Structure 1
Amino acid sequence: MRVLGVDPGLTRCGVGVVDGGPGQKPTLVEVLVVRTPPEDDIAYRLLAVAERVEALLDQHRPDTVAIERVFSQSNVRTVMGTAQAAGVVALAAARRGIPVAWHTPSEVKAAVSGNGNADKAQVTAMVTRLLRLDAAPKPADAADALALAICHLWRSPMQSRLAAALSTSVLAARPARIGSVGR
């Protein structure tokens, strides 16, 4: 499975592509950070993020895009820019028929480090170790994007099995409820 992980942002948007699957060690395909100048118009900044991500989607053809779920921050401008960047990435994936998965920061930290409260240094160290890299990905946005991709690689098989089990149990329960309506 190939996952494109995105740590959304307007000034720095981390993007990492990782291959892997059950019983396989994750492998780095590409990592980069899309940068946009804060003084530029927001529409052009979003366009720059979208164009770069679209090029990566077309080049690497991931099976899934994993995006960090935007969480509340005290700075409304920052959270708005992050949400907007996440939105253009999700739109680019949807236009290509690529599923999008959303992961919270604590889910990602727990998946790669075993600690949902890990700091950036711990996450970066684990990403470096898991991908067997000679040097830590920099800046932190790059490491976070790779962590998102790894998180999805590891969590998606379980999430798929849970979703299948839930849909089976709901479908199994449905005929019983329908049959009892007329009684």
Structure 2
Amino acid sequence: MTRSRRASLGRALSRAAAVLALVAGLGAVHLGTPPSALAHDGLVGTSPAAGSTVPEGPATVELDFTAEPLPIGTLVAVTGPDGAPVSAGDAEIRGTTVVQPLDRTLSAGTYRVEWRSSSSDGHALSGTFDFAVTTGSAPSGTPSPAASSGPDTTAAEDGVAAVWPAVGGVVLVGLGVVLVSRLRRRG
């Protein structure tokens, strides 16, 4: 093998090694990232808590998210034991919390909260939960729906998208190995 051919092969192998190191580093960054950082925003809590019983009707229902939601598409509908709406006005975004004012005259019974919001990355989120109020007169003739055990939240995507950066890193490392292998065979 000639001296210039060896030098050319050496440069090509050096470049391939640099590319592999870069790809491996990026892959390690993605693989080392906690799944929550790769996932989309989500609901982390409510007030009143989903499935809870409170002694008095709250003035607001609050939904706490992992990041500030977008105002587009944000809606919170609260209905009483008789199915009538008890929301008062529009929901307001305060940082990472969506606040929905309620009528001040909540009677005893179970209340249903149906909500939807757009996460900070534009994905639609929605869910429902119930809470109960013990003080006040129970409405007659209307059975209360059972309280849920926790918030029912649904992201409008399947969560699989969080693994794509790791898959891409693995594919790039594989391509780098094939490239180095072919370069060695030529020399």
TM-score band by shorter chain is under 0.3
Structure-2-length-normalised TM-score: 0.26
Q: Looking at secondary structure, tell me which structure has more strand per residue.
A: 2
More helix by share: 1
